[in-house]
Structure 1
Amino acid sequence: MTSNDRILHPFTLPNGIELKNRLLMAPMTTCTGYYDGTVSSELVEYYRVRAGSIGGVIVECCFIDDLGLAFPGAIGIDNNEKIAGLAKIAAAIKAEGSKAILQIYHGGRMVDPQLIGGRTPVAPSALAAPREGAVVPRALTGDEVEGMIAKFGEGVRRAIQAGFDGVEIHGANTYLIQQFYSPNSNQRDDEWGGSRDNRAKFPLAILEITHKMARQYADDAFIIGYRFSPEELETPGIRFDDTLYLLEKLAARGVDYLHFSVGASLRPSIVDTTDPTPLIEKYCAMRSETLAQVPVMGVGGVVNAADAEQGLEHGYDLIAVGRACIAYPDWTARIARGEELELFIDSTQREALLIPEPLWRFSLVEAMIRDMSMGDAKFKPGVFVETVQDDVNELVINVSLENDHIADIELASSPEQSVAFTTSFEEIRERILSANTPHVDAISGATSQSEAVKKAVSKAMLKSSKARVAEEGGDDNSPKSYDVIVVGSGGAGLAAAIQAHDDGASVLIVEKMPTLGGNTIKASAGMNAAETRFQRVKGIHDSKEKFYQETLIGGKNKNNPELLHCFVENAPEAIEWLAHRGIMLNDITTTGGMSIDRTHRPRDGSAVGGYLISGLVRNITRRGIDVMLDTSVDEILTDNGAVSGVRLLTDEQERIVVQAKSVVVATGGFSANSEMVVKYRPDLTGFVTTNHKGATGGGIALLERIGAGTVDMGEIQIHPTVEQQTSYLISESIRGGGAILVSQQGQRFFNEMETRDKVSASIIALPEHYAYIVFDEHVRAKNKASDEYIAKGLVTSASSPRELAEKLGMDYHAFLATLERYNGFVEKQCDDDFGRTTALRAPVNEGPFHAIRIAPGVHHTMGGVTINAKTEVLNVGNQTIPGAYAAGEVVGGIHGANRIGGNAVADLIIFGTLAGGQAAKRARA
């Protein structure tokens, strides 16, 4: 029979069960369960439509213990109440004619404490995972190991009672079962650790209890699969011969299939990088006759029939299909008809494809979403060679373009390449190709390389578009036209562009830097708003009036009342505006100067900036909004006093005129322009800045040249907690989470939750002009930004307060006395020393203990151009300049003499959306 016949021909498992074909839907986390791990009706329908023509559906990993969920929105099988919901999924799949298999797992040390109520994850040993921000887990006792095996057994029983045809034991992806087998994560000295035989006991025990439950509650038709990761990069770590050793033991005890967990089905070794042989070929060559009787399943990179055929030819018996099943619910039926498929998702088809909203926002799915507005031919086909620079290397990249899409991205040359380099290149390449746009998230840990690749693609697209215009006889030098031009791509600019587009305007974003995000991407604390639904859910009673008064006091009564009222009134709507666009700020903390928790941030407690920009850029991409990077605005053009367009200068020194009725300037402040800072504040000579290098005040100068007035230019804020060697801002959310400030003498010296200007002044007044922000594991666990500080080497950590004091060169007696006194204040919720009334959340007493040395740095310029509540730019005579709008830090007057932490992000979204809406309204009138 042909390979295609083999793929679609029935296949019999060792237990005698026949699958209608060799194809199964791979287990892929959807993050669509309810908060307690129960099943939603949306999830049932998601699986129903993907069953039918495919042989089996392996339902996403299901946690067997409430300490074991490794994803937000994970589904569970940890108690009997979960059976009913899971039964709906099993019944839906089986009713369509496919086998229903449930994957069961425990995340072990890969669990984020945020997902388990702040509790400490468990693992074989008290060793943190080798990844950024990983916490140290608690080692399971011997009795708890036995109990964990029993929990897996109960999970199997519930899967049987829910009607599943089988279970897949998840022994891969560095979760708990793999952690027990790994010499890296398992360093126990009891019967469950040490030798390879001892380390194998846990996975074998899981298989044994699975068989026991199947014998007791199921029949002989019950399918038992086992998923494994063949290698670990760490030293010591699992090597391929270790994997073969374990699989032989599993096969001897009886499994119905083994599932290779690799990113690409034909991936070679990640340890021996000199050997290009696919691991599946090594596996087939090295396995015993007993192991050869167990079918092996491959996964990764299967889009068309040819991909599945290739997997069978290399030795797989079964093929698991992942993202293609998300994009094409009837994938198997399509390849049976001989269709040739392209892996992308039409941006308008989420509901039709029954893709749950959380999965739609998941990075691997987002990377497949293509804005179908690119359907019209816009490129001249060809290969464009671009030379770009990352932090280390000059990269030569070939970008292949077809009429309407990016066809390929190839690394032509780079002086230095490594496994990590090529892996990250392939990942950013895949993201760009799948999304059909360079405006995708950078790869974590490879930002510079990612941005270089994105820049190369952007340049190629621009050249190709110009070539197409020339080919069709157009004049590329003739003025182009948009309804609205947005200058700057930070939070305010992106929000303005999205709102203008949604109000019917054609929009162009112009950004002088090579990447989107501006200074917003560095924001850390969150977004302030009062009377939001997220506050109400958490029982927080707040009022807009209190928010107004506290902001006014923080700004020393210099705030423009009209703008401040607009700011406060529109803040909750701005939170909803983001939520409706998939950007959820539903965790809440506080910042200095606020008496109530109203600082909204991502659910996982991470820094708001990167999360916000990532979400806004996704929205830009989905709408097909045009973007020009590495392009500065030379001049805002006017006609009879009204804005008529802009003159641009590209990075290749090409001058372009673009016409528009409305221009929104959202270029940020001038904190990175030391000359301009010192002009208005000579006392800030020599201060570091937290801002990115593009924050130079260029937008203020542009608007001044067409007559704009300015206000509060001397009001420049210094942030109290800046790491001086890196100019890295330490988020106010750390203090808002319960941290304290301590001098070199080991003593508190000021109210940590006062406004930034006052806290900064108190640090400058210390003899050494610096201090330490001190926090414990409780604060760290609830503020994900702290994990980033630890990963960057900014943090000094110790197991005890005494050890921390010694590392910092403090008198530990004074430091211990300080902690004891502060913890007493927390207990009675009253700070007798400095009058702190907020963020007395918990005593600083849970090790390990952490400290970061900080001092003030230039952070925010409250001054800027003058606007009214409609974001219209005002001239020196307080009259509007028709067609000119401004939002964000380029504007003055909103924050007065001092900005409250968390108000900047609110400012960006509130006035960014107002500016976009007003600009579109004028342009479309």
Structure 2
Amino acid sequence: MNNAITPILRPLTLPNGAVLKNRLIMAPMTTCTGFYDGTVTSELVEYYRARAGSIGAVIVECCFIDTKGPAFPGAIAIDSDNKIPGLTRIADAIKSKGSKAILQIYHGGRMVEPELIGGKVPVAPSAIAAPREGATTPQALTAEEVDVMITKFGDAVNRAIKAGFDGVEIHGANTYLIQQFYSPNSNQRDDKWGGSRDNRARFPLEVLEITHKMADRFAHDGFIIGYRFSPEEIEVPGIRFDDTLYLLEKLAARGLDYVHFSVGQLLRPSIVDTSDPTPLIEKYRTLRSETLAKVPVIGVGGVINKTDAESALDHGYDLVAVGKACIAYPDWADRIINNEQLELYIDSTQREALIIPEPLWRFSLVDAMIRDVSVSGRKYKAGVYQEKVEAEALKLKINVTLDTDRITDISLVKDDTLDVDFTTTFENLRTRILVANSPHVDAITGATTQSEALKKAVSRALATSSKEHVIDEGGNPNAPQNYDVVVIGSGGAGLAAAIQACDEGAHVVIIEKMPTIGGNTIKASVGMNAAETRFQKLKGIEDSKELFYEETLKGGKFKNNPILLREFVELAPEAIEWLASHEIELNDITITGGMSIDRTHRPADRSAVGGFLISGLVKNVNKRNIDVLLETSVAEILFENDTVTGVKVVDEYNDSRILNAKSVIVATGGFSANREMVVKYRPELDGFVTTNHKGATGSGIAMLQKLGADTVDMGEIQIHPTVEQTTSYLISESIRGGGAILVSQEGKRFFNEMETRDKVSAEIIALPEKSAWVIFDEQVRLNNKAADEYIGRGFVVSAPFPNELALKINMDQDALQQTLARYNQFVEQQHDDDFGRATALRHPLNHGPFYAIRIAPGVHHTMGGVTINTDTAVLDSHKQVIDGVWAAGEVVGGIHGANRIGGNAVADIIIFGTLAGRRAAAHARR
């Protein structure tokens, strides 16, 4: 079909007289790119500008109309007039390129997570939790609040008009608030807003009515009003297709310019009557009235190429909304008009060129499309491999289909005895693995255990296939393999070392005894310390390496190895830049205890650094096709003729083999999770919980001692002052660095919260309860994303006022209020008269809600370990280099002295990890 007659380029006149220049629309898609308060970022404006032009209209992602309305982080808002300027920039950008600009408006209702709204309870038609695991029971809106909510939708329409949008799309889909009012599952009210179908339809009709009123009063005649709907709900009771048609008929009678099917695929049949394969669009066209038939209908889902769009029109849609293809190809409409045949993937190096904001790049929708376009070096035996996945209550089987160099499919095996209530997580993770061509991808948020089990099952299939490939080629899968560099441990130090060694031309393998990548690094929370960095200068922070050196030396009680510490401080800014060059940017800055200046670098969204860091490093490992052996232990480092020759490894099936290598990097971490080892050096720590993962057992130290390695500072074991004791979860120092205080059960501050960890821990242990409370307010929460994680995990007690918080945690109300008042006075005068706190006096703690987390110390970091020189080469007891072996990270002693400063461990692993990779690769090439 040529362009002259292709129906997708024909104009369409809407019922209100507005003309769309063609039948193509950019679908509204979450970008997670707004500021914390919902205002628009410049990145978002340019993202929409790049995608407008040849496409007929752009429907901008949903804007929440009320402070309790955001259903996801980074959502943009239209809840107040101060949001109008930013939204105007988006509307202007789209319209300047010649496309119509339509804004979707919504309220998340019971789908809103409390951590997104400051720990508050979400609202809904009825106090009924959403049918998903861990869902919060919402607060039912009163009749008066329902009226107010309708007014807020009207206010949002007025603001959209003022911002210059050509129209609004009322979001009545995706189980958000409008759909919740119409659903008999979520709406079980007994007033005029619930009960009968007519009563349940009242809320969406009133929202449409107030939209018309605002448009009549303030907009031009061609202002577009659309409505998005989900045709069915699977729940019982729930919305059925005839219910949807009933509502749409009423909406059409009042006046709509289009309706927008919210389905994953254009031709999806019923999800309720699974025996009927008829596409819902066909049922819709058959059953709709003459009035509804005059309202154009938008289809969405699965449109990539011109034939897909033309097929949508052939099946009865009037307009076609395009989602992921518009992200992957900003000029999508131009490409299909020119008959290009497109594949739905994004080159992993093209984020900036495609003008995709960083938060959207990390969002699952996009992450699943990112592909390294380089050719894989892995070799498999083509076929289907079946594996079991077992995690907690989850038991299922999967089939992994492999080509000779690629994972081509992953599917669930039907088995009535297996639990497959796992569909969404499985589909999302399946897509990530297929696109990455690797099981080493980010876990699905909220389903980490299941994700790791599935990833491990895929890894097993790959290992089995690789062995069969070797056998088919006439080889022995247990025969020795040759590498240049073996890296033991997959925490931050090991991954950084492997990446750097690979970039220096070495053939590298990573060996990890645990079933997952990440080591202890993935639990890191606060950030990475460095002085005199580019990001400090951009923020006007004056710092010096000399001051960083002196404060780290003082924090370590002057026991630090001064030569290693000087190297650490000198190389820290380069390490920050190394991460940035690998698309791991730490450009927000805070402070930790023992530091006098903001030099702790963290992600822009102020989230915990560990997950962000490991995710970025793993993507770099995948890009380089570096081999990773999980659940594989190093039985020994092989040493002949005074040099390393490789390692002997044992896999999960107890099969052993030799990996020959000229260089071995040990990055196995510390020994905080080895209680016997901890107690051997520090008997008084018996019984303390640890923040470390189970693999932190000191195995690397033992291996290196067999080679004659010397150790230093083994008795220097740090306890972290703020650990949630029931889960051993670390409460980040960034919370105190953000302005929080520590309060005893008496309701009083008892020490300088920003002192070093050893001193703060000692003061907590000295309290009668041997525990304390971290107290903070809404301002601290908003500036520290980790706080939302703690709220989500259930660690946090909250209340709107300090006296109510005191009651909840069994604390004297007057004492707490007096403590806060006195601390707030110190903040105002920027001087702590009681304990001399001189940093992180950021703002008074006076904005409710107020939060409290009960904490006590836990074993956190072992400063002792093997000795190294400034090249990271391991030294023996005579200070001589052990040829061919390097070490980096917590396995090494001497850098931190008697106490590690928060934020220095992440710096340590990147600085010395990359250095080890460089030196090991050079040694292997000799």
Please classify the TM superposition score into its range, dividing by the shorter chain length. 0.7 to 0.9
Q: Does 1:212 align with 2:212?
A: no
The equivalent of 1:714 in structure 2 is: 715
Deviation per residue, 1:174-228 (Å, 9 max, x gap): 77877887899999999999964653355314641574379x5365xx6543334
The equivalent of 1:492 in structure 2 is: 493
Q: Does 1:543 align with 2:548?
A: no
The equivalent of 1:732 in structure 2 is: 733
Deviation at 1:508, TM superposition (A): 1.4
CA spacing shift, 1:615–1:779, aligned 2, 3 Å: same
Tell me the SS of whatever aligns to 1:513. coil
Deviation per residue, 1:502-524 (Å, 9 max, x gap): 33332211111111111111111
Tell me the SS of whatever aligns to 1:855. strand
The equivalent of 1:386 in structure 2 is: 387
Q: Does 1:200 align with 2:204?
A: yes
Paired with 1:590 and 1:241, the residues of 2 have a C-alpha distance of 58
CA contact (8 A) 1:24 1:318 kept: yes
CA spacing shift, 1:10–1:377, aligned 2, 3 Å: farther
CA spacing shift, 1:821–1:182, aligned 2, 3 Å: farther
Deviation per residue, 1:245-298 (Å, 9 max, x gap): 553343223333212234444567789999998765675576544223323223
Q: Aligned AA for 1:61?
A: E
The equivalent of 1:628 in structure 2 is: 629
Aligned pairs (5 A) from 1:511-910: 511-910=512-911
Tell me the SS of whatever aligns to 1:515. coil
The equivalent of 1:319 in structure 2 is: 320
Deviation at 1:451, TM superposition (A): 1.0
CA contact (8 A) 2:114 2:792 kept: no
Paired with 1:31 and 1:744, the residues of 2 have a C-alpha distance of 39
Paired with 2:661 and 2:161, the residues of 1 have a C-alpha distance of 64
Paired with 2:727 and 2:33, the residues of 1 have a C-alpha distance of 39
Paired with 1:611 and 1:501, the residues of 2 have a C-alpha distance of 22
Deviation per residue, 1:770-826 (Å, 9 max, x gap): 222222333223222222222222223334333333333333343333333333333
CA spacing shift, 1:413–1:306, aligned 2, 3 Å: farther
CA contact (8 A) 1:632 1:648 kept: yes
CA contact (8 A) 1:29 1:74 kept: no
Q: Does 1:156 align with 2:161?
A: yes
CA contact (8 A) 1:805 1:811 kept: yes
Tell me the SS of whatever aligns to 2:753. coil
The equivalent of 2:479 in structure 1 is: 478
Paired with 1:198 and 1:156, the residues of 2 have a C-alpha distance of 24
The equivalent of 1:102 in structure 2 is: 102
CA contact (8 A) 2:826 2:832 kept: yes
Deviation at 1:482, TM superposition (A): 2.4
Paired with 2:633 and 2:249, the residues of 1 have a C-alpha distance of 63
Deviation at 1:474, TM superposition (A): 3.7
The equivalent of 2:467 in structure 1 is: 466
Match of 2:95 among 90, 98, 113: 90
Deviation per residue, 1:877-902 (Å, 9 max, x gap): 11222321111111111110011111
Deviation at 1:631, TM superposition (A): 1.0
Paired with 1:663 and 1:802, the residues of 2 have a C-alpha distance of 58
Matched pairs, number = 907
CA spacing shift, 1:807–1:241, aligned 2, 3 Å: farther
CA contact (8 A) 2:24 2:319 kept: yes
The farther-off stretch of 562-571 and 636-645 is 636-645
CA contact (8 A) 1:520 1:609 kept: yes
Q: Give the TM-score normalised by the residue count of structure 1.
A: 0.86
Tell me the SS of whatever aligns to 1:373. coil
Tell me the SS of whatever aligns to 1:894. coil
The equivalent of 2:440 in structure 1 is: 439
Q: Aligned AA for 1:156?
A: I
Deviation per residue, 1:518-545 (Å, 9 max, x gap): 1111111222222223333333332222
Tell me the SS of whatever aligns to 2:495. helix
Deviation at 1:442, TM superposition (A): 0.9
Q: Aligned AA for 2:818?
A: A
Deviation per residue, 1:572-625 (Å, 9 max, x gap): 222222223222322222222122222222233322211221122122222222
Paired with 2:458 and 2:815, the residues of 1 have a C-alpha distance of 57
Deviation per residue, 1:96-115 (Å, 9 max, x gap): xxx54433436678999999
Paired with 1:107 and 1:501, the residues of 2 have a C-alpha distance of 48
Paired with 1:491 and 1:260, the residues of 2 have a C-alpha distance of 45
Q: Aligned AA for 1:664?
A: I
Paired with 2:314 and 2:679, the residues of 1 have a C-alpha distance of 69
Tell me the SS of whatever aligns to 2:440. coil
CA contact (8 A) 2:123 2:139 kept: no
CA contact (8 A) 1:184 1:234 kept: yes
Paired with 1:720 and 1:690, the residues of 2 have a C-alpha distance of 11
CA contact (8 A) 1:763 1:770 kept: yes
Aligned pairs (5 A) from 1:162-241: 168-172=169-173, 196=200, 199-200=203-204, 203-205=207-209, 207-209=211-213, 211-212=215-216, 217=220, 224-230=225-231
Paired with 2:242 and 2:854, the residues of 1 have a C-alpha distance of 47
Deviation at 1:688, TM superposition (A): 1.1
Paired with 1:63 and 1:41, the residues of 2 have a C-alpha distance of 14
CA contact (8 A) 2:485 2:920 kept: yes
The equivalent of 2:61 in structure 1 is: 61
Tell me the SS of whatever aligns to 1:153. helix
Q: Aligned AA for 1:212?
A: D
Q: Aligned AA for 2:208?
A: L
Paired with 1:481 and 1:451, the residues of 2 have a C-alpha distance of 29
Paired with 2:208 and 2:467, the residues of 1 have a C-alpha distance of 62
CA spacing shift, 1:272–1:586, aligned 2, 3 Å: farther
Deviation at 1:308, TM superposition (A): 5.9
Tell me the SS of whatever aligns to 1:427. helix
Tell me the SS of whatever aligns to 1:460. helix
Paired with 1:453 and 1:537, the residues of 2 have a C-alpha distance of 42
CA contact (8 A) 1:716 1:862 kept: yes
Q: Give the TM-score normalised by the residue count of structure 2.
A: 0.86
Deviation at 1:461, TM superposition (A): 1.4
Paired with 1:108 and 1:73, the residues of 2 have a C-alpha distance of 11
CA spacing shift, 1:443–1:415, aligned 2, 3 Å: farther
Tell me the SS of whatever aligns to 1:255. coil
| Structure 1 vs Structure 2 CA RMSD | 4.4
Deviation at 1:81, TM superposition (A): 8.0
Paired with 2:306 and 2:752, the residues of 1 have a C-alpha distance of 66
Paired with 2:626 and 2:75, the residues of 1 have a C-alpha distance of 31
Deviation at 1:695, TM superposition (A): 0.5
CA spacing shift, 1:261–1:41, aligned 2, 3 Å: closer
CA spacing shift, 1:480–1:228, aligned 2, 3 Å: same
The equivalent of 1:917 in structure 2 is: 918
Deviation per residue, 1:735-790 (Å, 9 max, x gap): 22222222233332222222111111112222222222222333223222222222
CA spacing shift, 1:245–1:171, aligned 2, 3 Å: same
Q: Aligned AA for 1:102?
A: I
Q: Aligned AA for 1:47?
A: R
The equivalent of 2:258 in structure 1 is: 257
Q: Aligned AA for 2:769?
A: E
Paired with 1:193 and 1:582, the residues of 2 have a C-alpha distance of 51
Q: Aligned AA for 2:103?
A: Q
CA spacing shift, 1:397–1:751, aligned 2, 3 Å: same
Deviation at 1:453, TM superposition (A): 1.2
The farther-off stretch of 898-907 and 411-420 is 411-420
Paired with 1:91 and 1:530, the residues of 2 have a C-alpha distance of 44
The equivalent of 1:397 in structure 2 is: 398
Deviation at 1:335, TM superposition (A): 7.2
CA contact (8 A) 2:88 2:164 kept: yes
Tell me the SS of whatever aligns to 2:422. helix
Paired with 1:811 and 1:270, the residues of 2 have a C-alpha distance of 55
Paired with 1:859 and 1:273, the residues of 2 have a C-alpha distance of 53
Tell me the SS of whatever aligns to 1:372. coil
